[in-house]
């Protein structure tokens, strides 16, 4: 990368502590406000099913955990949550689920995207986070009206990826990369992300993750700390983890550094931050993130979308029918861009340059 931050610079930033770290975090915050303004945008998050065909070693909804109560919201429940997001002027929502590839699943999502567009008069922006699919499937969902897609690469290191996933065709890093390329060429605002603080992960791996995001030229990023889950294979390495406080700081440093590296992208304050600090998402906003995804999944299902220990907002009872009690507490009203899509400025610039 000519003239920009190199791997060694990024590693150095991620290794900062004390006053130097404070300075980095302040730079992240200043860069956000200077480059994209002070607004924070909401994406109402609907985790509509925890049924998953994958077996990732870190994930609490991997297919081979028998104790997970599997659920699948009805279309009516999903549309009700979407109506809630619309009426409360969230601007956008995210549909997320475990990973399933089938004709009926494809048709269902296509139909839901159209219905959500209809019920909001076209005004709700839709992000999908539904894992790896074929190019044709991504095209169908794009034509139906979804315009952003979040597919975390989890780690850009082939070595770590192999360590954290079964060695079979269903868990190939190459396919995940290929999917990201499809999403970008179809025209989605394309998002990726990684887990921070995985066992055996060093800061140079994280520096490489940031370089990957820059080189791929992503429009949005959602990245957060890895949190151990007792019923997953990776739990056996819990004594190799950095302490939760340090993991949290590392996640904040990743956000601030990424903001400096890619000033005009959208960066989400990941829910997992809140598992380590009750004000985790608000703190992420204060160092460079600009997107928050309040959970609007009906309350009684939230316990079953348990990706990791201590996931926030699990016990909350639904407030009315949609269970939204997951609003960030420490943001000024004027900061929230109600009713706006809050699209990635990086995406619009990328499009302008390509035409
Ligand atoms: N199936 C879709 C996919 O793979 O893109 C979306 C659902 S998946 C459960 C959403 C994200 O949860 C993953 O990309 C992963 O980064 C995150 N995740 C899973 N287990 C986690 C853990 N133990 N700690 C932190 N994040 C985790």
Distances (CA, A) of 320 to 30, 38, 42, 290, 316: 38, 31, 20, 28, 12
- At residue 314, the pLDDT reads 61
Residue predicted with more confidence, 174 or 301: 174
Q: What is the CB neighbour count within 10 angstroms for residue 336?
A: 20
CA-307 nearest atom, ligand 1: 20
Out of 46, 50, 58, 297, give the residue to mutate to test ligand 1, the one with the largest number of ligand atoms within 8 Å of its CB: 58
> What separation in Å is there between the alpha carbon of 62 and the centre of ligand 1?
10
| pLDDT of the residue at 320 | 45
Between 308 and 68, the more confident residue is: 68
* Predicted model pTM: 0.95
Identify which of 152, 188, 198 to mutate to test ligand 1's pocket (most ligand atoms within 8 A of the CB).
152
Q: Which of 54, 137, 307, 312 to mutate to test the pocket of ligand 1 (most atoms within 8 A of CB)?
A: 307
Nearest Cα residue to atom 4 of ligand 1: 131
The tens digit of pLDDT for each residue in 300-322 reads 788 788 888 777 666 554 444 44
Cα(79) to centroid(ligand 1), Å: 23
What is the pLDDT of the chain when averaged over all its residues?
Answer: 93
Q: What is the pLDDT of residue 217?
A: 98
Cβ atoms of 225 and 247 within 8 Å: the answer is yes
The neighbour count for residue 323, using CB atoms within 10 Å, is 21
Report which protein residue has its CA nearest ligand 1's atom 13. 152
User: Atom 26 (ligand 1): residue with closest C-alpha?
Assistant: 226
Using CA atoms, how far apart are residues 116 and 124, in angstroms rounded to an integer? Answer: 7
Cα–Cα dist 300/317, whole Å: 7
* Residues 196-232 pLDDT 10s: 999 999 999 999 999 999 999 999 999 999 999 999 9
Over pLDDT 90: what percentage of the chain? 85
Please state at what angle helix 103-119 crosses helix 135-144, rounded to 10 degrees: 20
């Amino acid at each position: 990368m000519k003239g920009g931050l190199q791997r060694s610079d990024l590693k150095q930033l991620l290794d900062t502590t004390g006053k130097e770290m404070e300075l980095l975090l302040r730079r992240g915050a200043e860069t956000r406000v200077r480059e994209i303004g002070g607004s924070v945008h909401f994406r109402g998050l609907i985790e509509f099913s925890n049924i998953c065909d994958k077996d990732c070693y870190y994930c609490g909804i991997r297919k081979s955990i028998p104790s997970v109560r599997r659920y699948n919201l009805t279309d009516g429940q999903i549309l009700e949550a979407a109506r809630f997001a619309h009426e409360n002027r969230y601007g956008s929502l995210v549909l997320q689920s475990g990973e399933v590839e089938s004709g009926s699943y494809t048709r269902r999502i296509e139909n839901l995207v159209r219905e959500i567009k209809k019920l909001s008069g076209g005004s709700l922006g839709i992000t999908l986070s539904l894992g790896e699919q074929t190019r044709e499937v991504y095209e169908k969902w794009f034509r139906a009206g979804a315009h952003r897609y979040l597919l975390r690469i989890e780690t850009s290191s082939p070595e770590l990826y192999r360590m954290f996933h079964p060695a079979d065709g269903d868990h190939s890093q190459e396919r995940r990369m290929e999917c990201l390329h499809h999403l970008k060429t179809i025209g989605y605002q394309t998002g990726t992300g990684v887990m921070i603080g995985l066992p055996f992960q060093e800061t140079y791996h994280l520096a490489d993750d940031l370089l990957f995001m820059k080189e791929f030229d992503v429009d949005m990023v959602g990245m957060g700390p890895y949190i151990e889950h007792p019923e997953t294979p990776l739990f056996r390495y819990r004594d190799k983890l950095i302490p939760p406080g340090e993991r949290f700081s590392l996640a904040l440093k990743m956000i601030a550094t990424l903001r400096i590296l890619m000033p005009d992208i959208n960066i989400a304050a990941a829910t997992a931050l809140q598992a380590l600090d009750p004000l985790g998402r608000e703190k992420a906003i204060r160092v460079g993130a600009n997107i928050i995804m309040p959970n609007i999944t009906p309350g009684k299902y939230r316990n079953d979308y348990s990706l990791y220990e201590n996931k926030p907002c699990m016990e909350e009872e639904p407030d009315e029918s949609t269970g939204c009690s997951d609003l960030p507490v420490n943001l000024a009203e004027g900061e929230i861009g109600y009713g706006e899509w809050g699209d990635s400025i990086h995406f619009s610039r990328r499009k302008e340059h390509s035409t």
